[in-house]
Amino acid sequence: MAIEKMTCVLGRQDIPVIQEQPEFTVDLLDSNILLFGQPMSGKTNLIKLLITISHKLYREDTEQIFILDFGGALAEYESLPLVAAYFDNANEEYVKRVFKLMEDQLKDNIKKLKGKNYRAAGDNQPIHTTLYIDNVNAFLDEPRYTAYHEKLAKLCRDGLSKGITIVMTASTTKGLNSYISSFKQKIALEMPADSYSEIFNHKVIPVGNNAGHGFANVTVVPSDITGTFPLQLAYELQLNIADNINDEYFKANLNYYFGSRTVKKYKRFPDVLTYREYEAFTQGYEQEYGSVSVGLDYTECKSVAVDFDYTKTIAIYGKKGFGKTNLLRVILKSFIEDPKYKFVLFDDGRAQLKEFDLKISQERKQYIEGFEEMPMLNKGNPQMYKLSPMQQFIKLIHENYMELTQLRRLSTLVMAEIFGAGVTTPSNAGMYDSRNTVFVLQSKFLYVNSIASKDFMEVILPLLAARAEEMNWIFIFTDVKSISDSETRDNFNSTIGAAFLLDNIAEFVGERGKKSVFGNMDIKALKEEYARCEEGDGYFYSIEKDDLKKLKFIKTEEES
């Protein structure tokens, strides 16, 4: 059966024209609510009052509550059964997340209601949603939230008839002129005299410093009065005091009516997402075979994982100090623990892969770092050559993974370009068991405009990638740099199946991302969609699925 009213008694009003003091009642299906008041006047009490009343009257299948707390006094309400999400001002992404959830809820409700008003929906009535914003002035005054102002205005205009009610508190009318018309129910506690006129369009006699005491117009006519009176005028009001949610009687009633049942919860992440915290968030979710979990999606709090059974090449982009090495630890953890995997660690003199070299036994790895003297054949005669890390890497691939003797870039033999005409080395690729190898490619020499890097990116890498699924080869490009040559860059980008970014994505795409795998993304849309990254944040982009997620990365013990 559809809910046609959601009435809550909040206090008593004094209506002199009928000489009565009836109960002050609001209907959450009939009006958005905007409460003004000076600090300590009782604004937050109104939100607490509405939330506690809702828990007395409604259940998890009819009402859900979202709280944006810019006043910092509602944190303990997060655990209540009807509170789907509580977020404060600490992380912009959570504010963004609430508006994304509200937008999605509005779209879903419009679809379900099929043109009907929420009250008249019958069996198609979705769960009702109330969004509380305490201290909306702080939200409006913060420059980083400017992109969300119009989203809030749309929710205020369109949400009520589709089952979304907005309740806001404010200390001043500053910045609220474009919103006030969407709030049928207005309440003003202690305020300057001229502010009452701005709110109610007529003068009132200020009530002075008395918490919970103020004025309100009438949106629900009391049923137990005689006579009529103008509803739009402001009448003196005394709000009730909200129940203490820590009171044993209140908690006992919550337990009686809800037990362990709650609405779907959207949780905040801890400042540091350890493996223990990650497991607590994902308890009950089954991990897919072959997947390596790296963190939690900001929107759904679900695991973000790379399925290495299908995705064989990944790239990691990001600024220094943003957590790329930590991410690599998380990705490699399960591979290092599985003895069937071998490793090729391609460093470039900065020794950034040294910690992984120390973790892996000698028989399971090849570690390439600096220049090395190595034997090669010169027209059939053995000689020692001082090889660069890039030359060593290609020599290793030729000897153990794929014979490169006949490969050409344009009309030139690749091996002759890299090592010189007449210089050769035997290949054991056909005899060596090279399956189940993880290539960790940290070297900056991969991205410079050199013959060896061009040969690798344009000829060798595509062939390796083509055999990656058959041989279970996994390629992890750990610190991707800009590639100036367009043909080399296009070859590299087309090989990557998934990418991580540890940086603010709109800024990254604007500065260098057009030459990366993120190149087709719209900068303006990214600015609107995603907030700036906090520590431990980043993005996962499945290129094969064209799916971008913002996430909180798991923090390994080495840095947690």
Tell how far CA 376 is from the center of its chain: 52
Rounded-to-integer distance, Cα 552 and Cα 536, Å: 6
Confidence of residue 558 (pLDDT cuts 50, 70, 90): low
Count of helices and strands (H, E) across the chain: 17, 25
Rounded-to-integer distance, Cα 87 and Cα 75, Å: 8
Report the pLDDT value the prediction gives residue 320, as an integer from 0 to 100: 83
Q: Which of 108-122, 272-286, 452-466 has the lowest mean pLDDT?
A: 272-286
Rounded-to-integer distance, Cα 558 and Cα 497, Å: 28
DSSP single-letter state for residue 453: H
- What tens digit of pLDDT does each residue of 532-543 get? 888 889 999 999
Question: Counting beta carbons within 10 angstroms of the beta carbon of residue 194, is it exposed (0 to 12), middle (13 to 18) or buried (19 or more)?
Answer: exposed
The residue-averaged pLDDT of 485-492 equals 92
Q: Given a cut of 70, is residue 243 above it in pLDDT?
A: yes
Q: Given a cut of 50, is residue 459 above it in pLDDT?
A: yes
The most confident of the ranges 272-281, 305-314, 349-358 is 305-314
End-to-end Cα, the chain, rounded Å: 51
The residue-averaged pLDDT of 86-99 equals 87
Rounded-to-integer distance, Cα 155 and Cα 157, Å: 5
The residue-averaged pLDDT of 462-483 equals 95
**Residues above pLDDT 70, as percent of the chain:** 98
CB 401 within 8 A of CB 435: no
From residue 537, give the alpha-carbon distance in Å to each of 305, 319, 549. Answer: 15, 12, 11
- What tens digit of pLDDT does each residue of 175-206 get? 998 899 999 999 999 888 888 888 998 888 87
Domains of the chain: 7-258 (3.40.50.300), 310-553 (3.40.50.300)
Q: Given a cut of 80, is residue 491 above it in pLDDT?
A: yes
How many Cα atoms sit within 13 Å of 111 on the Cβ side? 6
CB 29 within 8 A of CB 53: no
Alpha helix (H) ranges present in 450-542? 451-455, 461-471, 486-495, 505-511, 523-529
Rounded-to-integer distance, Cα 382 and Cα 558, Å: 45
The residue-averaged pLDDT of 382-396 equals 94
Interstrand relation of 303-307 and 381-387 (parallel, antiparallel or unpaired) = unpaired
Confidence of residue 524 (pLDDT cuts 50, 70, 90): confident
The residue-averaged pLDDT of 294-319 equals 91
Residue 211 CB coordination number (10 Å): 17
Return mean pLDDT, the chain: 91
Report the pLDDT value the prediction gives residue 497, as an integer from 0 to 100: 95
CB 218 within 8 A of CB 235: yes
Confidence of residue 289 (pLDDT cuts 50, 70, 90): low
Confidence of residue 364 (pLDDT cuts 50, 70, 90): very high
The residue-averaged pLDDT of 50-73 equals 95
Confidence of residue 560 (pLDDT cuts 50, 70, 90): very low
From residue 90, give the alpha-carbon distance in Å to each of 86, 87, 132, 139, 149. Answer: 12, 8, 17, 12, 18
Report the pLDDT value the prediction gives residue 285, as an integer from 0 to 100: 62
Q: What's the one-letter identity of residue 167?
A: V
Residue with tokens 């030359």: 391
Kindly state the tokens that stand for 34. Answer: 């905007």
